[in-house]
Amino acid sequence: MADIDSPYPDSLGKLVEVFARLPGVGKRSAERMAFYFLKCGKEEAMDFAFAIRDLRKNLRSCTICFNLAEGEICAICSNPARDDSQLCVVEMPRDVIAIEKTGSYRGLYHVILGRISPIEGIEPDDLKIKELFIRIENGDFEEIIIATNPTAEGDATASYLADKIHPLNIKVSRLARGISAGTEIEFAGLANLQSAFLGRSKI
Amino acid sequence: MADIDSPYPDSLGKLVEVFARLPGVGKRSAERMAFYFLKCGKEEAMDFAFAIRDLRKNLRSCTICFNLAEGEICAICSNPARDDSQLCVVEMPRDVIAIEKTGSYRGLYHVILGRISPIEGIEPDDLKIKELFIRIENGDFEEIIIATNPTAEGDATASYLADKIHPLNIKVSRLARGISAGTEIEFAGLANLQSAFLGRSKI
């Protein structure tokens, strides 16, 4: 603390440093957050540390749909109340969370873990697309809803998937463009996502 | 995740919940922060969890000045290069950090851990004021700089201390009111704090 460059005691400085790595957190906010742990009870601090540890320890990819799962199979795939005639294809687990928040959809999901991007060298084989078609062939889906992001790459991925699903004689739809172009599904907002789900169109 | 009210898997929901408890962090930011731990390496997540644990394990009150310390005695009290003829009295450890950042002061500190506040029932005996006077009597200080916050309670605390130090024939000073009234020292900003230190006046 004698050093002008580091006014913090070591343990506090370390915590400020790790908090400042979080998205959207500057040095000043990181300091406020670190101070919080000096004031809060020991139990609460441990609660926090354990929550981070447990996330890494407990969360894995669902072996069916590649959504986040606490065990082998995620809470959605293992829920018998979900409608197994509908399958919604999304890029990432965070898109599942955003759609679940709307309460507009009660079917199943398939997370392809990315989008086709020739520029970044991401080919269909790098995504969980092979697994998607194994599911479609073995399942009894009446509708595949493609909910990739409304970006150039998301659109290209949707077209690629639609072209491969059409010959299978299953209805394919995309979310209505109630979502404004360029917006990520994750940040689209409840109302936009809800109308997008209701206005989805066959493609 | 099947429940509309909780779109997150348990471990992720728990982490969102704990992050949302931090000052200045809303539900949306908490979610972004929690997602960070899904993407970052395992080592980095553990780094984070350990930083929180270590803060609580390693940090204590310096037995001399009541600043934050990694061991028995803080880095400032144990630094022989600090000027032991000056003693700066502050309310809280975060004030020490703010002043250290200015690089304007090379003396020692005494943290009284609060301020006198009749409304909140905080009397001089509830603070580390007795310990301050034991230090002053046993030390060889030429100047006591009172750096309590420029608030009604901080001012009252400063007057109380000045009244008790005057009979001891030691110079007492306060930070110049370069700091605008009502601002906490912690948030005063580098430049304001620097000029406040330079323009401090005898009281």
pLDDT at B1: 40
The pLDDT-based confidence of A195 (bands split at 50, 70, 90) is low
Give chain A positions within 8 Å (CB) of B37. Answer: 52, 55-56
pLDDT at A4: 44
Write out the two tokens for A142. 């009446």
Give me the residue from B4, B34, B76 closest to A1, CB to CB: B76
Per-residue model confidence as pLDDT tens digits over A152-194: 899 899 999 999 999 999 999 987 766 666 667 777 777 667 7
Give me the residue from B1, B54, B98 closest to A75, CB to CB: B1
User: Over chain A, what is the mean pLDDT?
Assistant: 87
CATH 1.10.8.420 in chain A: give the residue spans. Answer: 10-58
The pLDDT-based confidence of A1 (bands split at 50, 70, 90) is very low
Give me the residue from B9, B45, B81 closest to A2, CB to CB: B81
Share of chain A above pLDDT 90, in %: 52
pLDDT at residue A41 greater than cutoff 50 = yes
Give me the residue from A2, A31, A56 closest to B82, CB to CB: A2
Place of tokens 């959207």: A24
pLDDT at B3: 45
Q: How far is B112 from chain A (nearest CA, A)?
A: 16
Q: How far is B77 from chain A (nearest CA, A)?
A: 9
> Who contacts B60 (Cβ-Cβ below 8 Å, separation ≥6)?
B68, B69, B71, B72
Write out the two tokens for A37. 């742990």
Phi, psi of B148 (to 5 degrees): -75, 165
Is B101's CB within 8 Å of A4's CB?
A: yes
Chain-centre distance for alpha carbon A195: 20
Write out the two tokens for A99. 């759609």
A60 in contact with B at a CB cutoff of 8 Å?
no
pLDDT at A3: 44
- Fill in the DSSP letter of residue B160: H
Q: How far is B58 from chain A (nearest CA, A)?
A: 7
| Residue B56: CB atoms within 10 Å | 18
pLDDT at B149: 87
Residue B114 φ/ψ region, left for φ over 0, alpha for ψ in the -120 to 50 degree band, beta for the rest:
left
DSSP code per residue over B27-90: HHHHHHHHHHHHHS-HHHHHHHHHHHHHHHHH-EE-TTT-SEESSSS-TTTT-TTSEEEEEEEE
Architecture of the domain made up of B10-58:
Orthogonal Bundle (1.10)
> Residues in chain B, how many?
203
Is the pTM value of this prediction over 0.90? no
B113 in contact with A at a CB cutoff of 8 Å?
no
pLDDT at B2: 40
Closest chain B residue to the Cα of A5, Cα to Cα: B101
Nearest CA-CA partner of B110 in B142, B140, B148: B148
pLDDT at A54: 87
A10 in contact with B at a CB cutoff of 8 Å?
yes
> Who contacts B92 (Cβ-Cβ below 8 Å, separation ≥6)?
B111, B113, B114, B186
Class of domain A79-202: alpha beta
C-alpha span between A65 and A26 (Å, rounded)? 36
Instruction: Tell which CATH classification among 3.40.1360.10, 3.20.20.70, 3.40.720.10, 3.40.50.12780 matches the domain B80-202.
Output: 3.40.1360.10
Angle (deg, nearest 10), helices A93-102 and A190-198: 80
Write out the two tokens for A15. 């915590």
Give me the residue from A45, A46, A69 closest to B9, CB to CB: A69
Is B7's CB within 8 Å of A97's CB?
A: yes
Closest chain B residue to the Cα of A59, Cα to Cα: B11
pLDDT at residue A19 greater than cutoff 50 = yes
> Who contacts A54 (Cβ-Cβ below 8 Å, separation ≥6)?
B11, B14
| Residue B151: CB atoms within 10 Å | 17
Q: How far is A10 from chain B (nearest CA, A)?
A: 7
| Positions in chain B whose pLDDT score sits under 50 | 1-4
Write out the two tokens for B15. 């982490």
Touching B: A residues 70-89, CB under 8 Å = 70, 74-76, 79, 81-82
Per-residue model confidence as pLDDT tens digits over A88-103: 999 999 899 988 888 8
Give chain A positions within 8 Å (CB) of B45. Answer: 52-53, 55-56
CATH 3.40.1360.10 in chain B: give the residue spans. Answer: 80-202
Is B48's CB within 8 Å of A103's CB?
A: no
